[in-house]
Amino acid sequence: MSRKGGFSLFELILTFVILGIAASIAVPGFIRWLPDYRLKGAARDLYSNMQLAKMGALKSNNNWAVVFDASANSYSVCSDDGGDGSWNDGNEAIEKTVSLFDYKSGVGYGHGSATDDIPNPGTGTAPADDITYGGDVAVFNPRGTCKGGYVYLENTKKTTTYGVGSRTSGVILLRKWTGSAWE
């Protein structure tokens, strides 16, 4: 006699019950984790795009900029300002445009629960503006330097905040609000 292989109906039902229980435990945790994961991704992408603008300025020996548009919840990396110093007149070449809406979970400009701004830690003063660059434009010159400033990003939970910005030396920083300080 040969024995037939396979699973019984009871074994299949038991497997699906166990998978259902595991999924019901995992899904709520995943849903709570997802908005912060998306916010972190948006902050890291902004950091990378600011590096792109800095390296583009160094490589082309011309000014490059990151132009922030709070009303459209987006920003653009631009090169070649047409020589007039204006970055919103149509003479710039847009290398890349990023919409913060694409990250979902309500990612956008804002300082969330941060009660201290990055340039003046310990003052207990919340950021007055979510984009601190003059004219909402971070311009990198051919030496790779930029006037200092920060951009604050939050999500719908408003419990986590990231700050991405540059010092006047051109160093680009990514900071996270821990609830009491920037790390």
CATH number of 33-176: 3.55.40.10
Task: Write down the mean pLDDT value for the chain.
Answer: 90
Residue 147 CB-density burial (10 A; 0-12 exposed, 13-18 middle, 19+ buried): middle
* pLDDT at site 132: 94
Beta bridge partners of 146: 140
* pLDDT at site 37: 93
pLDDT above 70 covers a percentage of the chain that reads 95
* pLDDT at site 83: 64
* pLDDT at site 6: 80
Mean pLDDT of 121-146: 90
* pTM as predicted: 0.84
Residue 5, pLDDT above cutoff 80: no
Contact 182, 155 (CB under 8 A): no
Pick from 68, 155, 141, 59: which is nearest to 103 by CA? Answer: 155
Residue 115, pLDDT above cutoff 70: yes
* pLDDT at site 2: 63
The number of residues in the chain equals 183
* pLDDT at site 178: 87
Residue 56, pLDDT above cutoff 90: yes
Mean pLDDT of 41-62: 96
Q: Which pLDDT band holds residue 1 (cuts at 50, 70, 90)? A: low
pLDDT 10s digits, 65-95: 999 999 999 999 999 766 666 776 777 889 9
Q: Which pLDDT band holds residue 41 (cuts at 50, 70, 90)? A: very high
Mean pLDDT of 151-165: 93
Contacts 24+ apart (CB under 8 A), 26-30: none
Domain map (residue ranges) of the chain? 33-176
